[in-house]
A and B are shown apart, each in its own frame.
Chain A
């Protein structure tokens, strides 16, 4: 089934895009890799106006300014693989991009689209939660563009649901440049090496100190209605010297903290098993330096 839109708007500025959204009944398209599949399958997301934001050139690219890294919403997954700031300041983003879909999809898919799609399995969300990222939301209110920042950790409310309102555009994602000694690790498991939607994904980050991590972050995808930060697991990991026995104790906490479901991709017990195996693997990687 092909979904038809009555109108088409190709915005070239945030002002034009947010004005169109303020008029109501518009569907944003960025890379289209989620939208086209979803609208074809169910009509989900289809409105009367198709609003193409790909021509807003200010919204693409990565910048480092005053210790803060800002990623434009339209930055593609391929861009992350080749970006110098990412490689230097937050290579966990490139490692994640490297596990994302296929070459063709990476060329089209955007970081903003991955977040707004709000899938519990959205891969880029995982390292961005590890990095304590905020998202910037822009809207046309009282005759001007207004913006608000929301912590990514508070952005998602359920599968496909987030706090962004109908008239808001996600314009950028930003985080503080990680401190010296930061390591970040991403892992995901799917049914085949390529084009896999994660059955479980994990992100771990922190500052390496005395054989362990301080300011530890542990994030899981596809084990709850939204990607989650595992606060108890983070607390268990904080400052812990990593060895085989201590890693096992962290895995027990992680196991008690996740609450996966069974679906077409995996059963709940298998996801639990993956949480243990994958967390062990990334922590072992951290321990091995």
Chain B
């Protein structure tokens, strides 16, 4: 039997007490224990970025991080970007530019864009491509996504 580890983690600004097994991933904790299903499980191997969340100000693949490691730390998921009824500027830019088709990659794209813009407020197209190189989209062909990041950076 696995030991249950009690952790306290700030998720989208709110302190949460969660009881997890040592082998549980951050992604599974978010989705199964906290019902935050924005971050998606696609590859489970760090290749696609659909599970991207921000931990203590840096973007990570939540499929490759153990939930126990979150003890005392802060996590932001796509659910935490929006305040009240209004989308945040990155989310709105993805909508405005048509950078969403099936939408499966979108939460990861939006979180990685949020991280990128926090480090570099005015990235050029090449910097945007580099910043999003860990995020795969099977639908849009990326052009609209780059336009969306540009709009978010201007906005």
Q: List A residues at the B interface (Cβ < 8 Å).
A: 2-8, 10, 29, 31-33, 36-37, 39-40, 50, 52, 54, 78, 101-105, 107-108, 193-195
* B1 within 8 Å of A (CB atoms): yes
A195:B23 contact, CB within 8 angstroms: no
B22:A7 contact, CB within 8 angstroms: yes
A interface footprint on B70-100 (CB within 8 Å = 1, 0 otherwise): 0100000000000000000000000000000
Q: Which residues of B are found within 8 Å of A52, using beta-carbon distances?
A: 66, 68-69
B61:A108 contact, CB within 8 angstroms: yes
A7 CA to B115 CA in the complex, in Å?
A: 33
B116:A5 contact, CB within 8 angstroms: no
B2:A4 contact, CB within 8 angstroms: yes
A52 CA to B45 CA in the complex, in Å?
A: 20
Return the chain A residue nearest B72 by Cβ: A55
Return the chain B residue nearest A193 by Cβ: B133
Q: Which residues of A are found within 8 Å of B5, using beta-carbon distances?
A: 8
Interface residue from B2, B66, B116 paired with A29 (Cβ < 8 Å):
B66
Would you give the shortest CB distance from B57 to chain A, in whole angstroms? 10
Known: A105-B134, A107-B59, A194-B134. A33 touches B66 (CB 8 A): no
A104:B112 contact, CB within 8 angstroms: yes
Could you say which of A8, A32, A195 has the most chain B C-beta atoms within 10 Å of its C-beta? A8
How many of chain B's residues touch chain A, expressed as a range?
35 or more
Interface residue from A37, A78, A193 paired with B45 (Cβ < 8 Å):
A37
Q: List 10 other contacts, CB 8 Å, given A32-B66, A33-B64.
A: A7-B22, A8-B5, A29-B69, A32-B65, A52-B69, A102-B135, A103-B115, A103-B133, A105-B64, A194-B133
A37:B112 contact, CB within 8 angstroms: no
Interface residue from A2, A40, A107 paired with B60 (Cβ < 8 Å):
A107
Q: What number of residue pairs across chains A and B have CB atoms under 8 A from each other?
A: 97
* B10 within 8 Å of A (CB atoms): no
6 smallest beta-carbon distances between A and B, as pairs: A102-B134, A194-B133, A8-B22, A5-B22, A50-B22, A107-B58
* B52 within 8 Å of A (CB atoms): yes
A54:B69 contact, CB within 8 angstroms: yes
Q: List B residues at the A interface (Cβ < 8 Å).
A: 1-3, 5, 21-25, 28, 44-47, 49, 52, 58-61, 63-66, 68-69, 71, 112, 115-116, 130-131, 133-135
A7 CA to B112 CA in the complex, in Å?
A: 33
> What are 26 residue pairs bridging A and B, where the CB atoms are less than 8 Å apart in the complex?
A4-B21, A5-B22, A6-B3, A8-B3, A10-B71, A32-B64, A32-B69, A33-B46, A36-B63, A54-B69, A78-B58, A102-B46, A102-B49, A102-B134, A103-B59, A103-B112, A104-B52, A104-B59, A104-B61, A105-B61, A105-B134, A107-B60, A108-B60, A108-B64, A194-B130, A195-B133
Could you say which of A6, A37, A103, A194 has the most chain B C-beta atoms within 10 Å of its C-beta? A103
A103:B134 contact, CB within 8 angstroms: yes
A36:B60 contact, CB within 8 angstroms: no
Return the chain A residue nearest B4 by Cβ: A8
Would you give the shortest CB distance from B33 to chain A, in whole angstroms? 14
Q: Which residues of A are found within 8 Å of B21, using beta-carbon distances?
A: 4-5
A101 CA to B2 CA in the complex, in Å?
A: 33
Return the chain B residue nearest A54 by Cβ: B69
Would you give the shortest CB distance from B52 to chain A, in whole angstroms? 6
Q: Which residues of A are found within 8 Å of B134, using beta-carbon distances?
A: 101-105, 194-195
B64:A37 contact, CB within 8 angstroms: yes
A124 CA to B78 CA in the complex, in Å?
A: 32
Would you give the shortest CB distance from A45 to chain B, in whole angstroms? 12
Q: Which residues of B are found within 8 Å of A2, using beta-carbon distances?
A: 23-25, 28
Q: Which residues of B are found within 8 Å of A40, using beta-carbon distances?
A: 44-45
Q: Which residues of B are found within 8 Å of A194, using beta-carbon distances?
A: 130, 133-134
Q: Which residues of A are found within 8 Å of B28, using beta-carbon distances?
A: 2
